[in-house]
Amino acid sequence: MAEVNVPQHVGIIMDGNGRWAKKRGLPRSFGHKQGAAVFKKTINWARELGVKCVTFYAFSTENWKRPADEVEGIMNLLRQYIKNYGGRDEITRAARELAREAASGEISPDGITEDSIEKLLYTAEMPPLDMIIRPSGEQRLSNFLIWQAAYAEFVF
């Protein structure tokens, strides 16, 4: 394989949604919808290229000054695309994917290892979790990184 330099972390300023829509005679909300769809595609492209981390700038403090209906539309899109994380949900999704692969014959149930689960977690490309810090006095994980926390130190 040819040697290529793949950036580890890329920052992306999401912009031009309004202009994209205007050019096509569409309302700005269509531009935001399209921008959100491309956001999802971009994540997949980055993964395929081996980029480990992508930080998106999707909404700024200044953007709160936009018309209320536009802000509401963007917030609805964010809600749709950035689904509330939950540790049990993360593991359930991995289980579902492995079940799908087993059902299609791609893998055998006996071939499923801790590693196969780990590869399907959101942290797959990241180094192991060393420490969890929680201020406020609560001493629990509240469904945060429950798989990854197996050997982490807890600091409350």
Active site residues: 15, 63
Q: SS3 breakdown of the chain: % helix, strand, coil, rounded to 5? A: 50, 10, 40
Site string for ligand IPE, 46-65 (x = CB under 6 A): -----------xxxx--x--
CA atoms within 13 A on the CB side of 118: 11
Which CB sits closer to ligand IPE, 14 or 141? 14
14 binds, among Mg ion, ligand IPE, none (CB under 5 to 8 A by kind): ligand IPE
Interface positions, 111-140, toward ligand IPE (CB under 6 A): none
Nearest distance, CB of residue 30 and ligand IPE, angstroms? 11
Which CB sits closer to ligand IPE, 17 or 148? 17
Residue among 18, 77, 98, 148 that touches ligand IPE (CB under 6 A): 18
Total Cβ atoms within 10 A of residue 132 = 15
Nearest distance, CB of residue 15 and Mg ion, angstroms? 4
Tokens representing 117?
Answer: 């689960």
Tokens representing 35?
Answer: 């921008």
Query: CB neighbours of 121 closer than 8 A, spacing ≥ 6?
Result: 90, 91, 94, 147, 148
Number of residues near ligand IPE (by CB under 6 A): 14
CB-neighbour burial class of residue 17 (10 A; exposed 0-12, middle 13-18, buried 19+): buried
Which CB sits closer to Mg ion, 59 or 147? 59
CB 58 within 8 A of CB 43: no
Contacts to ligand IPE by CB under 6 A: 13-19, 35, 57-60, 63, 74
